[in-house]
Amino acid sequence: MSKKIGILVGSLRKDSFTRLVAKEVAKLFPDNVSVEFVEIGHLPFFNQDFEDPATSPEAHTAFRKQIEGLDGFVFATPEYNRSYTPAMKNALDIASRPYGESKWNGKPFAIISVSPGAIGGFGANHHLRQVLAFLNMVPVQQPEAYISSVMDLIEDGKLKQDTLAFLQNVVDALVSKL
């Protein structure tokens, strides 16, 4: 049976380093795993008034349904001020509600944090991991993926082979949890 992985990219910038890394990661999954990018930039900000299906924006309803239909996730995030992005937090909150009906519950995930800096988005990675633990998701513990000095890992618009080999290990660990 084919499994479905959703990739959420925290950066909304069209040509972001994080999106480039996520696109390269998407190519690493085996043929029996389908991959889809889950867009989050269009989602209205979470508001508890939107929990009632009668008042929920269509974008929230469609997003929750999309998340519910996926078996696991890759969260690709840049680091903004030692944390992950507001767009990612908004998406997590939307699909975690109404209370007791989280669409994230029990699903495996891997985090790949991306940064031009030396510590590879360590703060973003761990803040995001903390929220995902609360949402009762199942983490890929090893290998941890902190992609630092990302500009040095790109050649001709693609990631270098040694970086892809490392990311293959992350993908394989996630697939083993499906």
Domains, the chain, ordered by start? 3-175 (3.40.50.360)
**pLDDT above 90 (res 74):** yes
The tens digit of pLDDT for each residue in 81-126 reads 999 999 999 999 999 999 899 999 999 999 999 999 988 899 999 9
**Cα–Cα–Cα angle for 36, 77, 82, rounded to 5 degrees:** 165
- Which has the minimum average pLDDT: 36-40, 67-71, 118-122, 138-142? 118-122
pLDDT for 155 equals: 94
State the pTM of this model.
Answer: 0.96
pLDDT for 110 equals: 98
When pLDDT is averaged across residues 50-55 and rounded to a whole number, the result is 86
When pLDDT is averaged across residues 41-65 and rounded to a whole number, the result is 93
pLDDT for 61 equals: 95
pLDDT for 54 equals: 87
Instruction: Kindly give, in sequence order, each residue whose CB lies less than 8 Å from that of residue 77, ignoring residues fewer than 6 positions away.
Output: 9, 10, 11, 18, 84, 85, 88, 111, 112, 113, 114, 121, 124, 125, 128
